[in-house]
Structure 1
Amino acid sequence: MKNCEECGKPLIGRVDKKFCSDMCRNSFNNRLNSDAHNIVRNINNKLRKNRRILEELCPDDKSKTTKQILLSKGFDFNFITNVRPTLKGSIYHFVYNYGYLELDNDFYLIVRDKRLEK
């Protein structure tokens, strides 16, 4: 006989059952996703915040802003999801479906890649 993975009580019911109750299942998963995964949660929170800032500053497909505006809203340039070089050698930094390209004089071009939204 198998025991509950959270509390150890004997399991009654289905052969593939792992927990004796919803409370044990929730406790097990909450513990599993807590401290050991804080770094992942914190990074995801920073990526989501960066994306929200780019989305706010780019209501259409393209817009321009300054580095100061990005920083004042809490944008963190250390957190991106990918980079995309252009044929001319420039590099777009993307946070999910929003990208930015550094221009002259601390200006940035923000773009939205609709292809990633399908």
Structure 2
Amino acid sequence: MNTCQECGSVLVGRADKKFCSDMCRNAYNNKLNSDTYNVVRNTNNQLRRNRRILEELCPEDKAKTTRNTLNAKGFDFTLMTSQRVTQKGSVYYFVYDYGYLELDNDFFLIVKDSRG
């Protein structure tokens, strides 16, 4: 006798049935995937926060700021969406359409990508 994987009630119907209702199936899968969804959601939230910080500090095409300013606003340097290496070997780290380049003395150049 098969029972529902979510609530344990007896299943009636097909031999390979796993859940008694759509509600139980959804609840089971939501629990199963919640850790994965939390990681993705938290990462996306921090990426959006990083982008908002860069956008706020760079109202034009370019701006300079300091590491202290970025840290104070909650910027996470470990998360980015892409990197671009210049011909001179400098590395710009991008968060969607805003990039930053580390300069000397904890200064950063922020740029807005003009590629649209």
Is the pair's TM-score, using the shorter chain for normalization, greater than 0.5?
yes
| Aligned residue identity for 1:109 | L
Q: Secondary structure at the match of 2:84?
A: strand
- Partner of residue 62, structure 1: 62
- 1:53 equivalent in structure 2: 53
Instruction: Return the TM-score normalized by structure 1.
Output: 0.71
Which structure is larger by alpha-carbon Rg, 1 or 2?
Answer: 2
Instruction: Detail structure 1 runs of 4+ shifted over 6 Å in the superposition.
Output: 26-33
Alignment partners' CA distance in 2, 1:98 and 1:36: 27
CA displacement at 1:114 relative to structure 2: 2.5
Question: Which residue of the partner structure matches residue 107 of structure 1?
Answer: 107
Q: Which runs of 5+ in 1 are unaligned?
A: 1-19
In structure 1, the partner of 2:10 is none
**Identity rate, percent:** 66
SS of residue matched to 1:111: strand
The corresponding residue for 2:85 is: 85
Q: Please give the root-mean-square deviation of Cα atoms over the aligned residues, in Å.
A: 3.0
* Structure 1 counterpart of 2:110, one-letter code: I
Aligned residues: 108
